[in-house]
Every structure is written in structure tokens, then in C-alpha cells.
């Protein structure tokens, strides 16, 4: 099975006064992978800037752009058509993804050398004393890394409520645990922090999710940005801790990295005015 989706992601800033100049980076264009094929993309920026496109360290499509004239607002629209064809079987009797590594295999020096960046407890992925104790407890009860992933996801689900967001401001994992609720960004950071603390490489994934799988062909649905994780089990295994499921053909990946800092869809700096307000909308329609 495969699903073809059309995305329209609008983002931008309205400044409190005219910005004299601004310097920005957009990571809003999906990339072709083994799980998805991008057939069309277009990035529209208003006002028209100087711009350049490149691939960053993590393999993400990046557009850098600058404006050197007064502007009261900045608008960025990313339009993409993507066919998703993830290899995933679900239901009773389906084999779990991954290669079912043991703890000693995950901790092998070769894994540490190759994936050390995905083991670091980065700024957003810190455990704190209270959550670290929970991680240690679940780790002691888990005979394999896969059992640990199942156990910590279940524990997070019991203790932290999911609140849908549109690329909301990211918080540190320990703060999310203490507050007891968060969006998909927060739950991804929290799960990654736990896995890394247990010695399992994990990375942050950002993209889109079509919320209504019963939508008619051509029907435009108000979607949202969504975040999930991938953890190392001899190969990267995708999992969505927000809804406790394996991503299917209704998920589109834009980027992955250590945490949200590496993959923020739109960010930049500006001069000439003291403040700005960001706006974001996502529309998704199924084409096939």
C-alpha cells in the first residue's frame, strides 16, 4: 500500500514594526527516502529574498534566505507532493521491526563510535533526577532494549498527557516529566532522553501527520506538524510516542537530528524592531 499526499505548510512572522533586515533558514521541504518519494516541491517566500539551498549535516533540505529592505511581515509557503510507502505490517502475528539486538550489542564500541551523536543528552533531551530514577527502574526490569522501549513508553503514557500542537515551543525533557503533559515535540524529547540514558541511540524526527485517515480523495484537511522518534535496533526503527504507534503511510518525514534544535522548520534573526509573532498552518490532502 502507498499513499500520495499534498502538503501546504505556511509559516511566517508579523513584526511589531518594520524589520530593516532579516536572515532566515527554512527546513520545510520533505526529502525522498526509502519510505517516501517526493515528486514535487516548491518554496515561496514573500517578500522575494536572496536565497540559496543546500543539504545540512543531518541530510535535511535547507533554504537560507536574506532580506535587506524594510518589511512588516515575512511569509513562507512550502508546497509538496509525496508518496509514502513504508514497509510495515501491523496486527496479530506481525513481526516487530528491527533486528532485536541485545544490550551488549547496542553497547558495542562500533555502535558508540558510529552513533555517538545520538547518545548525547542534548539540551532538550535531559532526564533530571526524578525521571532518571524512572529510567533506571525500567532499565533494571528490561532484558532487551526492545523491552525497555516498550516499558518506558508505557510509563510515559501513564504519567504524561498528550496535547496536540503545531510545532509548539520545545521544552526540556525533565520539565515535561515534571509538568505531566506535552505535545508530540515534548514526548519525543522525553522518550529520546530515556533511551539515550539507557544507552540506546535515538534520534528526533519531524514532519507531518494526516489526522483523518478516512478523508476523501482531494479533501483538504487541517493538519499539523508532528514529531516522533527513531531508535537503533541494528537499523533505525520509527515509533510515535505521542500516540504509541509505528508511523504508517500517513506520516511524512521532513528531517531528523539530535533534537528539535537541529530540525526547526523556520528560524532566523532580524533587526529594526523589538518583536515578532509567528504563525503556522498546515493543509494536507490525499491525492491517491
Q: Which domain holds residue 163?
A: 103-262
Q: 234 near 101, Cβ under 8 Å?
A: yes
Q: Give me the DSSP letters along 207-260.
A: EEE-S-TTPPTT-EEE-EEEEEEEEESSSEEEEBTTTTB---TTEEEEEEESSG
Residue 65 within a domain: yes
Residues 67 and 27 in one domain: yes
Return d(Cα 14, Cα 18) in angstroms, integer. Answer: 9
Return d(Cα 80, Cα 82) in angstroms, integer. Answer: 6
Residue 225 within a domain: yes
Residues 114 and 256 in one domain: yes
pLDDT value of residue 286: 96
pLDDT value of residue 95: 59
The H or E element spanning position 187 is helix 184-197
> Per the structure, how many domains does the chain have?
2
Return d(Cα 144, Cα 102) in angstroms, integer. Answer: 5
Residues 250 and 124 in one domain: yes
* HSE-CB for 86 with a 13 A CA cutoff: 16
Query: What mean pLDDT comes out for the span 97-116?
Result: 95
pLDDT tens digits for range 78-94: 999 999 999 764 444 44
pLDDT tens digits for range 169-212: 678 899 999 999 999 999 999 999 999 999 999 999 999 999 89
Query: What mean pLDDT comes out for the span 127-133?
Result: 94
The pTM (predicted TM-score) of the whole model is: 0.94
pLDDT at 255 over 50: yes
Residues 213 and 116 in one domain: yes
Task: Kindly calculate the radius of gyration of the chain based on its CA atoms and give it in whole angstroms.
Answer: 20
Task: Kindly state the cell numbers that stand for 59.
Answer: 541530510
pLDDT value of residue 97: 78
Which of 227, 225, 223 shows the shortest CA–CA distance to 259? 227
Residue 89 within a domain: no
Task: Kindly state the cell numbers that stand for 254.
Answer: 521532513
pLDDT value of residue 223: 85
pLDDT tens digits for range 24-55: 999 999 999 999 999 999 999 999 999 999 99
Residue 115 within a domain: yes
Residues 20 and 44 in one domain: yes
pLDDT value of residue 98: 83
Sheet holding 21-26, edge to edge: 50-55, 61-67, 21-26, 266-271
Residues 117 and 256 in one domain: yes
**Which CATH number belongs to the domain containing residue 189 in this structure?**
3.10.620.30
Other CB atoms closer than 10 Å to residue 207's CB: what's the count? 22
Residues 222 and 136 in one domain: yes
Amino acid at each position: 500500500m502507498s499513499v500520495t499526499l499534498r502538503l501546504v505548510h505556511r509559516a511566517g512572522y508579523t513584526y511589531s514594526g518594520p524589520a530593516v533586515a532579516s536572515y532566515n533558514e527554512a527546513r520545510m521541504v520533505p526529502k525522498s527516502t526509502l519510505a517516501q518519494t517526493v515528486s514535487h516541491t516548491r518554496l515561496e517566500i514573500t517578500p522575494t529574498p536572496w536565497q540559496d539551498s543546500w543539504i545540512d549535516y543531518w541530510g535535511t533540505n535547507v533554504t537560507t534566505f536574506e532580506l535587506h529592505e524594510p518589511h512588516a511581515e515575512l511569509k513562507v509557503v512550502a508546497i509538496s507532493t509525496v508518496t509514502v510507502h513504508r514497509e510495515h505490517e501491523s496486527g496479530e502475528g506481525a513481526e516487530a521491526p528491527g533486528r532485536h539486538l541485545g544490550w551488549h550489542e547496542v553497547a558495542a564500541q562500533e555502535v558508540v563510535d558510529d552513533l555517538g551523536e545520538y547518545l548525547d543528552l542534548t539540551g532538550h533531551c535531559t532526564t533530571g533526577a526524578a525521571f532518571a530514577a524512572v529510567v533506571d527502574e525500567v532499565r533494571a526490569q528490561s532484558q532487551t532494549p526492545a523491552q525497555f522501549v516498550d516499558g518506558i513508553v508505557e510509563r510515559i503514557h501513564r504519567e504524561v498527557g498528550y496535547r496536540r500542537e503545531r510545532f509548539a515551543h520545545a521544552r526540556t525533557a525533565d520539565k515535561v516529566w515534571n509538568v505531566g503533559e506535552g505535545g508530540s515535540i515534548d514526548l519525543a524529547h522525553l522518550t529520546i532522553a530515556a533511551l539515550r540514558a539507557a544507552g540506546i541511540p535515538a534520534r528526533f524526527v519531524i514532519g507531518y501527520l494526516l489526522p483523518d485517515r478516512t478523508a476523501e480523495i482531494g479533501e483538504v484537511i487541517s493538519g499539523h506538524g508532528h514529531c516522533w522518534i527513531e531508535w537503533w535496533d541494528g537499523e533505525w526503527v520509527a515509533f510515535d510516542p505521542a500516540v504509541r504507534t509505528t508511523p504508517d503511510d500517513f506520516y511524512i518525514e521532513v528531517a531528523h537530528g539530535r533534537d528539535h534544535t537541529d530540525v526547526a522548520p523556520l528560524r532566523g534573526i532580524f533587526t529594526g524592531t523589538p518583536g515578532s509573532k509567528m504563525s503556522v498552518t498546515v493543509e494536507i490532502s490525499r491525492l491517491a
